[in-house]
């Protein structure tokens, strides 16, 4: 059976959600949100803030290894940052070649690098050379900026730079997050390189997972939004079979939702805390009618006390 990996999702899945999702089971690995490497030397606390798991052997409390993702376009600075990060003992270092955010792209980082395979190779080689051999360096790419003309060249460049494996999110930057994901392109990449390729994009269910593996020929799959919307997805994939019992799942999820809220209240300022809960509930609505109902009750609430009360009724816990 191949690996199922929890995708990096800046602003959606932080260490708290990684903890809860990997605790439910089924994930073999996870990748942190990106740490942006710019001109200034990054203090070690920046890595620990994005990936607090570094304080705990670079694993979630359930023991799932977490790779730390770096994003930047300058090979030497990326290498310096990777060397510093390596001091903290990450399970691995992943390089971002897919972020479509304008603030990142304006400085030539993330998905814009897909225009320049030679630079991608230099970044990968510089980072690989700066980090002890025992720490895997991996990469994650989209298909291109606006077309697939350079897809295979980008994959070859990363392979020549010495990466250990490659996640392919099967869309161009311009395609954003719009379905479909072009899984057939993942198959083409897989056939063109000899490093393992991990398939990514639009896996929301067990049947998506199966079709994605069949079509791409990849054994390993990375799941992003589907993991947040359906926290039991990876566990069901592992179990392979059986009907989905959403009511039973919700009963198991309710205490975790409560824990999530209690911990959000501790680490997020009060005026932003309800927003964090709404963000997860908004994803969960896709799978759970109970989440839809709860979302309806909390969506207009802005105070922590009001959300406390709504959640207490819904989960029957507080
Ligand atoms: C809110 C959000 C934040 C993301 N942040 C990152 C990131 O920090 N690094 C990265 O490589 N990809 C990031 N991605 C892309 C995902 O890792 C993944 O490639 C994409 O969502 C496609 O997979 P999915 O269809 O399973 O969600 C992000 C996606 C979303 C929706």
Domains of the chain (ranges plus CATH)? 4-239 (3.20.20.70), 246-315 (1.20.225)
- Distance from the CA of 33 to the center of ligand 1, in angstroms? 9
Cβ burial 290-307 (10 Å sphere, 16+ → b, else e) = bbeebbebbeebeebeeb
- Distance from the CA of 278 to the center of ligand 1, in angstroms? 19
What's the rounded Cα separation, in Å, for the pair 53 and 74?
26
Closest ligand 1 atom, residue 169 Cα:
19
The residues pairing with 222 across neighbouring beta strands, listed in sequence order, are 5, 200
DSSP state, residue 288: -
Token couple for 152: 């295979």
What's the rounded Cα separation, in Å, for the pair 278 and 61?
24
Single pTM value for the model: 0.97
Give the CA diameter of the chain.
Answer: 57
- Distance from the CA of 96 to the center of ligand 1, in angstroms? 10
Cβ burial 32-51 (10 Å sphere, 16+ → b, else e) = bbbbbbeeeebeeebbeebb
Per-residue pLDDT of the chain (318 residues; tens, 9 = 90+): 899 999 999 999 999 999 999 999 999 999 999 999 998 889 999 999 999 999 999 999 999 999 999 999 999 999 999 999 999 999 999 999 999 999 999 888 999 999 999 999 999 999 999 999 999 999 999 999 999 999 999 999 999 999 999 999 999 999 999 999 999 999 999 999 999 999 999 999 999 999 999 999 999 999 999 999 999 999 999 998 778 999 999 999 999 999 999 999 999 999 999 999 999 999 999 999 999 999 999 999 999 999 999 998 877 643
What's the rounded Cα separation, in Å, for the pair 275 and 155?
38
Nearest CA, atom 15, ligand 1: 9
Closest ligand 1 atom, residue 34 Cα:
8
What are all long-range contacts of 146-149, with beta carbons under 8 Å and residues at least 24 apart?
146/172, 146/173, 146/174, 147/172, 148/172, 148/182, 148/185
For this structure, is 212 an active site residue?
no
CB atoms within 10 A of CB 162: 15
């Amino acid at each position: 059976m191949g690996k199922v990996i929890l995708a990096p999702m800046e602003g959606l899945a932080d260490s708290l959600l990684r903890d809860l999702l990997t605790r439910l089971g089924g994930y073999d690995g996870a990748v942190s949100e990106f740490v942006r490497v710019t001109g200034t030397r990054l203090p070690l606390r920046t890595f620990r803030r994005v990936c607090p798991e570094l304080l705990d052997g670079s694993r979630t409390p359930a023991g799932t290894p977490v790779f730390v993702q770096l994003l930047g376009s300058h090979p030497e600075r990326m290498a310096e940052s990777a060397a510093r990060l390596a001091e903290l003992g990450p399970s691995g270092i992943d390089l971002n070649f897919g972020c479509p955010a304008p603030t990142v792209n304006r400085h030539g980082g993330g998905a814009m690098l897909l225009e320049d395979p030679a630079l991608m190779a230099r970044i990968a080689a510089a980072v690989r050379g700066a980090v002890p051999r025992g720490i895997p360096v991996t990469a994650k790419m989209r298909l291109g900026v606006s077309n697939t003309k350079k897809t295979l060249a980008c994959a070859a460049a990363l392979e020549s730079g010495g990466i250990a494996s490659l996640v392919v999110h099967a869309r161009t930057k311009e395609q954003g997050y719009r379905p479909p994901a072009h899984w057939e392109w993942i198959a083409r990449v897989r056939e063109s390189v000899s490093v393992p390729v991990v398939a990514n994009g639009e896996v929301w269910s067990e049947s998506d997972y199966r079709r994605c593996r069949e079509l791409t020929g990849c054994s390993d799959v990375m799941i992003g939004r589907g993991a947040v919307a359906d926290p039991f997805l990876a566990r069901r994939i592992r179990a392979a079979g059986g009907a989905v019992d959403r009511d039973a799942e919700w009963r198991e999820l309710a205490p975790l939702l409560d824990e999530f809220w209690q911990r959000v209240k501790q680490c997020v300022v009060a005026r932003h805390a309800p927003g964090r809960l709404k963000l997860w509930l908004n994803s969960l609505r896709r799978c759970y009618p109970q989440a839809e109902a709860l979302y309806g009750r909390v969506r207009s609430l802005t105070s922590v006390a009001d959300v406390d009360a709504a959640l207490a009724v819904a989960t029957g816990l507080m």
